Structure formats: C-alpha cells, structure tokens
Amino acid sequence: MAAWDDLKNVLKRLIDEQPGALTGYPDPSGDEGRRPPFAITLAPWAVSFAADLDEQFGDNVNLTVGALAYPPSHTRAQRRRLDEELTAELLDPAQAVVELDGPASVRSGYTLAHGLLVRNLSSAELHIPTNGQITAVVVDPNTGYVVGGFAGAQRLPLVMFHIGVGQIRRIPLLIGTASFVPELGYAVPPGRWGVRATITLGPDRDAARWLTPVLLPLTVTA
C-alpha cells in the first residue's frame, strides 16, 4: 500500500492544481483493492506530469498520454488503428455534401468543439444518429493519412439529427489533437492539417457509415 499512499496524494494534488491533466485514474478517495501497477491516463498536453509520475513511481504505474503509452519506448506505444477509417466508403456527393462550419483552430494537445455543416442533396430526409456530436480525426491534408484525434471516453446517448431534402444542418464536431503516430510525439504538432469524419446515415447506429472527404482548414497552434 506504500506506493498507493504516495500516489493518491499526488493524484489529489494534480486534480486540484492542474484541472484536465488527468483523464483516467484510480479514485484517490478509495483504498480498497489498490495494487500496482496503477493505470493512469493524461491529456496530450500533460507530458511533463507523466514524466514526473514515471520518475517517482516507475513500474508501479502504467501511463498513457493521449492515445500513446508513456514513456515512448514502451511496447504499447504504436499507431492507433481506426477500423472505420479502413473500411468505410467515401460519402457520395450526390447524397450529401459536408464542410466545416468555418475555419478551425485549436492548440496542440487540446480539444476543440466545432461544427460540421451537412447539406442533404438526396431525394429523401437524412437521419444521422450520433452521441450528440461527431468525432473527427486529424489527417495529413496531402495524403489523408490519419495522424491524430480525440482520445478518451465519451457518453453514448443516442441523439438523432434529421435533415430535410435540400436543407443544411449544423452538427457538433469534436476535434481532438492527441497524436496516434509516435513519431509526431504525444500531440499533433503545430501546423496546417485537415480533418475527416465518419457519418452514419440511417435510423440507428448500425446503419451504413460513410467517410467525409478531407475537410480544411484545421490550424493547430503552439
């Protein structure tokens, strides 16, 4: 319990002094069943705190920063695979066209609440099931290669967006900048990037999924 006694005090301090740095951790208010290694996840911008935890607790903690393991030499650190990105087909522009609701800009390591404009060009009403928002990935605008996105849990309520024929509707779009590529570090670095999203079209979450084209611009700042 010695490691846990020390760790829970550090966790309490981080929660109080650095809101948002910890995104997943054992509850420091409870002691029952606390045995190392303790799984701790930090925001992509919180690399320095991960370094401190690694130095102080070593093998007593399993650390993840954003989507990747810490330290970077750990065997768990590898590019995250997105099955949807590998299997979904490109959205038919005769059915719907999408664009960002204006230019998007976000600080490296942080998350942006933005918007996706969807225009229904089909001959029937479109139904888009979501959890209240659509989650984007960050891509290389030249290749479409996925480099990052949101890392973390989300609530899963069913929120349906209906778009009439010829109508445009704004759907909330979540853009995260956790890196999925170890070579880029733990956060998508500053620069000009694109985003892409998977849209479900149908009456429920099991309906067909479609990839948007690469959407521009996304500016990641330091």
Tokens representing 60 are 């007593």
Domain end call among 35, 70, 105: 70
Residues 22 and 108 in one domain: no
Q: Which of 11-25, 83-97, 147-161, 201-215 has the lowest mean pLDDT?
A: 83-97
The answer to whether residue 221 sits within a structural domain is no
Domain end call among 37, 70, 103: 70
The answer to whether residue 154 sits within a structural domain is yes
CB burial of residue 218 (10 Å; 0-12, 13-18, 19+): buried
Percent of residues, the chain, with pLDDT higher than 70: 93
The answer to whether residue 25 sits within a structural domain is yes
Name the residue range of residue 25's domain.
Answer: 2-70
The answer to whether residue 80 sits within a structural domain is no
> pLDDT grade, residue 14 (50/70/90)?
very high
Angle at which helices 47-57 and 2-17 cross, to 10°: 160
The confidence score (pLDDT) of residue 29 equals 93
Averaged confidence pLDDT in the chain: 92
Q: Which of 114-128, 138-152, 165-179 has the lowest mean pLDDT?
A: 138-152
Burial 13-27 (b: 16+ CB within 10 A, else e): ebeeeeeebbbebbe
pLDDT at residue 208 is higher than 70: yes
The confidence score (pLDDT) of residue 81 equals 47
Residues 138 and 192 in one domain: yes
Q: Half-sphere exposure of 42 toward its Cβ, with a 13 Å CA cutoff? A: 27
164: phi then psi, degrees, rounded to nearest 5: -70, 165
Residues 140 and 55 in one domain: no
> pLDDT grade, residue 78 (50/70/90)?
very low
**Whole-prediction pTM:** 0.92
The confidence score (pLDDT) of residue 204 equals 85
3-state secondary structure of 119: strand
86 close to 93: Cβ distance less than 8 angstroms: no
Q: What amino acid is encoded at 200 in this protein?
A: T
CATH number of 184's domain: 2.60.40
Q: Indicate the number of domains in the chain.
A: 2
Q: Which of 101-115, 142-156, 172-186 has the lowest mean pLDDT?
A: 142-156
38 close to 60: Cβ distance less than 8 angstroms: yes
The answer to whether residue 114 sits within a structural domain is yes
